Structure 1
Amino acid sequence: MKKKNVVFSIVTALMLISCATPKVAYFQNVQPGAAETVSEPMEIRIRPGDKISILVNSKDQLLVNLFNLPVITRQIGMTSNNNTSQGISGYTVNDEGNIDFPVLGNVHVEGMTRAEIAAYIKKELMEKNLVKDPVVTVEFMNLTVSVLGEVAHPGRFSIDKDRLTLLEALSLAGDLTIYGKRDNILVQREENGTKVFYRVNINTGEDLYTSPVYYLQQNDVVYVEPNSVRARQSTVNGNNVRSTSFWISLASLLTTITVLIVK
């Protein structure tokens, strides 16, 4: 009887280990009604190589046309002459952080937010008596973040707002799969020409909200590592219930135990 109990205990332990599942809950230490301190909001600031659109509007439409780039018409397909799309031309920030704006000439925009660029252009147009009461709109055109690894839809995603959080980027990628490590998410960021890496644990609200990469910047790369379950599945001899080697090993063990009991 004791031998049978030992066999049962061994088999049960093996099955529990092989069927163990990773923790997938977010914010495990957050209590209802609790308040978490969030890192200082970080807005997207323009860098060399970024592309932006600047649109000037006022009551005098003919006048503001001098300050707006032409609308580009693109042909889509070859089946119909009417199959076209339109888009606004943009300004690409040069290595010195400048754009060449109509009439105003070189305008330094590096390090500025969308709102700051719009306010500066508006001020210059009014102070030089070029446009009366202009409305200036600035939009991002080529700013993106990349999300890779154990997410539902990895890829590169456009930034269309001044503040983009890590959680929002993960949601754009369809959230983590059940095999993604939630306690060790890697974020790569370029700072002063150097690649800097940060680790974030989204299982805890405190670590997430105080992280310097809670607010993402353009060109950030988010990588979700696979957990041990996924890692075992990726190998031919992975020790899990879906692998042939696991069942062969288990059958061999049971055979050995049976022989010992019979003896």
Structure 2
Amino acid sequence: MRKRLIRLRLLGYLAVIVCMCVACTSSRKVLYLQDVKPMVKQQIDEAYEVKIHKDDMLAIMINSKNPELALPFNMPLVSYQVGYQSSYNQRILGYLVDSDGCIDFPIFGRLHVAGMTRKELTKYIKQRLVEEDYIKDPVVTVQFLNFKISVIGEVNRPGSFDINSDRITLLEAISKAGDLTIFGRRDRVAVIREVDGERTIVYHDLRSSDIFQSPYYYLQQNDIVYVEPNRTKAAQSRINQNNTVGVWTSVISVLTSIVTLILVAK
């Protein structure tokens, strides 16, 4: 009887050790930025301004002390009904960047804007307004009307997200999607980007600080972030949940029977 108790205790200790090893291994798989050294300053790449692409929708607003001078350069406001309610909202019409990278702007005609940043386009329009003596004190505002990114795969809230600023990082996009699920691979997070008719897919390892050096760390409009599932999730897609529970129940039952027979035999 004493020997059996000793064997049971040893089996219990062995199970605890195995569980601890598995837990340590699992934590290394899910922790972000494992190689970052605390309190070590890193240089931040400031060249993250979003550039204007084909199919972008731009809102360009001109203001002046004399509103009549700015009026010919501004698109009209349009009203639209919100759902089935009687209330109406207003929005400004935008300029669509065509396949040649141009927009049709009042008075100035066709302007090639693809490749510019918002700041560069603002400066260009303001300069022309002053130099061509249309407005001496113009205030020019340029905004993206369709800046969005999509996050799909093993995240808690997949979907498309509208971005109000020119700056969003890969980590911020994942945060908007509610972070990765426990089944998401931290070492296989893809950013899919289409520029000038070419599609590029770049994978990132969130466990490494190397993501800060990636040219895809700062996302651009219409980027897609895809988080791959791990092996456990992939296996679950091949076996439904009820069958999985039944398989594991059978395995545990068989192992229990084997251990009991060994103890009784000795």
TM-score, normalised to structure 2, is 0.86
Match of 1:36 in 2: 42
Bigger fraction of residues in helix: 2
Where structure 1 has 5 or more consecutive residues not aligned to the other structure, the ranges are none
Match of 2:19 in 1: 16
3-state SS, counterpart of residue 262 of structure 1: helix
Query: Does residue 1:245 correspond to 2:247, yes or no?
Result: yes
The higher relative CO (CA closer than 8 Å, separation ≥ 6) is in 1
Q: Which stretch of structure 1 is more off in the superposition, 224-233 or 243-252?
A: 224-233
TM-score, normalised to structure 1, is 0.86
Give, in angstroms, the shift of residue 6 of structure 1. 10
Counterpart of 1:58 in structure 2: which amino acid?
Answer: S
3-state SS, counterpart of residue 124 of structure 2: helix
Query: Does residue 1:219 correspond to 2:225, yes or no?
Result: no
Match of 1:65 in 2: 71
Matches within 5 A, 1:112-261: 112-205=116-209, 207-236=210-239, 243-261=245-263
Q: CA RMSD in A?
A: 2.9
Give, in angstroms, the shift of residue 257 of structure 1. 3.4
Instruction: Work out the CA distance in 1 between the residues paired with 2:238 and 2:195.
Output: 36
Give, in angstroms, the shift of residue 41 of structure 1. 2.5
3-state SS, counterpart of residue 202 of structure 2: strand
Instruction: Work out the CA distance in 2 between the residues paired with 1:247 and 1:13.
Output: 20
Instruction: Work out the CA distance in 1 between the residues paired with 2:228 and 2:93.
Output: 39
The aligned length equals: 258
Instruction: Work out the CA distance in 2 between the residues paired with 1:253 and 1:17.
Output: 20
* Cα gap change, 1:257 to 1:204, in 2 (>3 Å): same
Give, in angstroms, the shift of residue 143 of structure 1. 1.8
Q: Percent identity, aligned pairs only?
A: 42
Query: Does residue 1:45 correspond to 2:51, yes or no?
Result: yes
Answer whether contact 1:58 1:64 (CA < 8 A) is retained. yes
Instruction: Work out the CA distance in 2 between the residues paired with 1:77 and 1:183.
Output: 42
Give, in angstroms, the shift of residue 17 of structure 1. 9.0
Superimposed CA distance per residue, residues 115-151 of structure 1 (whole angstroms, 9 cap, x where no aligned partner): 1111111111111111121000000001211111122
Give, in angstroms, the shift of residue 9 of structure 1. 6.6
Where structure 2 has 5 or more consecutive residues not aligned to the other structure, the ranges are none
3-state SS, counterpart of residue 224 of structure 1: strand
